[in-house]
Structure 1
Amino acid sequence: MIFVTGGAGFIGANFVLSWLAQSDESVLNYDKLTYAGNLNNLTSLRNDERHLFVQGDICD
């Protein structure tokens, strides 16, 4: 499993989508969901068991 921070933003979401298209390895996607984070960027992964989204702040 890989750990991605900011995975709901434009760059992070595209990285996660690309990673899962090329790999069977799971992704733990961690994002604070501020102005740049948008869960709509990850809609296609809603039923993908390899993707786990956690809303949180890495500063906590």
Structure 2
Amino acid sequence: MSFIQIKRKTKTENRYSQKMGRLITQVTYIQKYCLGLPVQTIHKYRKTYYGKVKSCSDCILEA
């Protein structure tokens, strides 16, 4: 059993971009776990309708 693991988790979120407005998209989080507890989020990205992979830094979370 290893102490450090890397896991991917996908969930649906509301996002807002200035060009498209409100959009509901699937966001994938890559997280580092130590002894089963999440320690750090390494990267998060989303897939567009056309299959492109974009970073979540260009969209703002909707409040």
Q: Which has the higher contact order (CA 8 A, sep 6+)?
A: 1
The two structures have a TM-score, normalised by structure 1, of 0.22
More helix by share: 1
Q: Considering only CA atoms, is the larger Rg found in Structure 1 or Structure 2?
A: 2
